[in-house]
Amino acid sequence: MSGSMQNVELVVRTIARCAVDNEVYFGELDAVVGDGDFGYSLARGFEKVLDEWDGIDRTDAGTFLKRVGMIISSRIGGTSGPIWGTAFLRAGATAGATQGVSGERVVAMLRSAAEGIKARGQSDVGDKTLLDALVPLTDRLEQELTSGADAAAALAAAATTAREAAEATSRLVARRGRASYTGERSRGSVDAGAMALAVIIEQISSQWQAWQTEGVS
């Protein structure tokens, strides 16, 4: 699994479009036990990314991703801005001064993003946050790539794992965010962040198949 700067841009644009297009759905998920502003906040942040798209510094993958993280952090309110912004900033720092990223580098970027989220949100796997989808999907992606799977197959497998992991958060009690205030009442509903991540990786997987069919490399 490797990609040019063009692929990095395509992935980020897919994330942004997915966040904007699913504003209502993500908000509804959050409204079950949270304050319901997750979908709105995420959409506004990535809407800003799309608005500034042509002017984002593309010197290299790391610079591009870090700039996206800064835009998100400055635009998204509540806890989502720092969390998602940190994820992009950490991923960008790990990507470094390269125009494209290998599969091994992608895994390292996702691991860095997860560590950044843990530190910023004082959370970990099992606290019913997006980490409960991010960490398993990263593990699955690494496993698939190590076993020799191509990018499309590895992404499809990671998307399946992310969906299963996100759905499994319904069995957890929230320990972070507004949902944590509801205690046991948070059990029985999925975490909005984890499910949003699952929807996003599914969209990336779908789009990747289309890009390869169209000859994007």
User: pLDDT tens digits for 102-136?
Assistant: 999 999 999 999 999 999 888 888 888 899 999 99
What CATH number did the domain enclosing 54 receive? 1.25.40.340
Q: What is the DSSP string of 64-85?
A: HHHHHHHHHHHH--TTHHHHHH
**pLDDT (0 to 100) of residue 136:** 97
Taking only Cα atoms into account, the Rg of the chain, rounded to an integer number of angstroms, comes to 16
Chain CA centroid to CA 198, Å: 8
pTM over 0.95: no
Least confident of 18-32, 55-69, 126-140, 182-196: 182-196
Least confident of 24-28, 48-52, 53-57: 24-28
Reduced to 3 states (helix: H, G, I; strand: E, B; else coil), residue 102 is strand
> In Å, what is the CA distance from 64 to each residue of 71, 91, 146?
11, 10, 27
Most confident of 28-32, 117-121, 164-168, 208-212: 164-168
Count of domains observed in the chain: 1
**pLDDT (0 to 100) of residue 182:** 47
What is the DSSP-derived secondary structure letter of residue 60? S
User: pLDDT tens digits for 136-190?
Assistant: 999 999 999 999 999 999 999 999 999 999 999 988 766 555 544 444 455 657 8
- Which residue segment(s) compose the domain that 153 sits in? 2-213
